[in-house]
Amino acid sequence: MNKILLILLLLPQLALSNTLPRQLAVPGGIINIELGSIETPAPEVFFQDKRVLIIENNRKWIAVIGIPLKSKAGVHSILVKSTNTTTEYNFDIVDKDYPAQYITIKNKRMVNPNPDDIKRISSERPAINKALNTWTEQPVEELLFILPVIGRLSSPFGLKRFFNNQPKNPHSGLDIAAPTGTTISAPAPGLVINTGSYYYNGNTVFLDHGQGLVTGYFHMSKITVKAGQIVEQGTKLGEVGETGRVTGPHVHWNVYLNKTKVDPALF
Ligand code: ZN
């Protein structure tokens, strides 16, 4: 009898403790820092002057911090602002040597855009940046994601990339390869904040999950949601395609925390 009671008492706690993303103290990774009891009001947390997501876990406030890929190894800190106090918390980042990847792109304008393409790319940037810089105060419902596409993980996050032997930005997301037309689903509840057809990203959907947790889905053949629409975990967002800069049909999945791209595999 006592044993059953104990298990029942432990169960909700176990479920709650599972909702944090996996911690990985490297550039492109995530740090979870316990801040204190939820009996005190939620503090505001800043990392490199950017607001950080706070979630309740086991009756404690936890800061979930995205570490930029460009971060140097060493000690970093967050500022925790409560009603009357500001406290600094330190944490360590170690280096990670992401492997290199060499990709051949047949459409040369996707590697070296012409002046008209460059104009288009810069005209698209404000809409994309606006989506990525979204901050909404509502509590985050779900940090335990489902995979947006059933398919093959074809390219991990963080690879140093060379397109036609030219060094480019590192791989900012996780690629899942699947046939054109495969359903792309929302990995967690959220709000559609932007849909569009962009030069490199192709047909794109951005979701806001609250408190700076934003996800993006690129290269779609079809978009089946509209900006302003609320989605549940599993709601169809569209279909896999090969629009934008690709070598074959896949979804490129981005996850942003505090305006920083992090490894989606940690969710
Ligand atoms: Zn990708």
Q: Give the pTM.
A: 0.90
Find the 164 Cα to ligand 1 centroid distance in Å.
16
| pLDDT above 60 (res 18) | no
Strand order of the β-sheet with 160-163 is 100-103, 160-163, 166-168
Rg (CA), the chain: 20
What is the whole-number distance in angstroms between the Cα of residue 175 and the centre of ligand 1? 5
Question: What is the spatial distance between Cα 106 and Cα 197, in angstroms, rounded to a whole number?
Answer: 20
Contact 248, 219 (CB under 8 A): no
Q: What spacing in Å lies between the alpha carbon of 152 and ligand 1's midpoint?
A: 13
Tell me: the pLDDT tens digits for 200-253?
A: 999 999 999 999 999 999 999 999 999 999 999 999 999 999 999 888 999 999
100: burial class by Cβ within 10 Å (0-12, 13-18, 19+)?
Answer: exposed
Distance 154 CA to ligand 1 centre (A): 9
Question: Rounded mean pLDDT of 194-204?
Answer: 95
Q: For 85-102, what is each residue's pLDDT tens digit?
A: 999 999 999 999 999 988
> 43-78 pLDDT, tens per residue?
999 999 999 999 999 899 999 999 999 999 999 999
**174 alpha carbon to ligand 1 midpoint, in Å?**
6
pLDDT-derived band at 1 (thresholds 50, 70, 90) equals very low
Contact (Cβ atoms closer than 8 angstroms) between residue 253 and residue 264: yes
Q: Residue type at 75?
A: V
Using the structure block, give the residue that is written with the tokens 């032997």: 165
DSSP per position, 255-267: EEETTEEE-GGG-
Q: How high is the pLDDT of residue 230?
A: 97
Tell me the C-alpha distance between 47 and 89, whole Å: 10
Give 227 Cα–ligand 1 centroid separation in angstroms: 23
200 Cα–ligand 1 center, Å: 10
Which 8-state DSSP code applies to residue 138?
Answer: S
Number of helices (H) and strands (E) in the chain: give both, helices first: 2, 20
Separation of CA 155 and ligand 1 centre (Å): 7
pLDDT attached to residue 103: 85
Between 55 and 17, name the one with better pLDDT.
55
Backbone angles phi, psi at 15, to 5 degrees: -60, -45
Q: How far is the CA of 32 from the centre of ligand 1 (A)?
A: 26
Give the distance (Å) from ligand 1 centre to CA of residue 218: 8
| Gap between the Cα atoms of 150 and 190, Å rounded | 20
The amino acid at residue 92 is D
pLDDT of amino acid 15: 44
Here the tokens at position 227 are 């900006």
What are the structure tokens assigned to 153, written together?
């993980």
Give the mean model confidence (pLDDT) for residues 139-155: 91
pLDDT at 136: 95
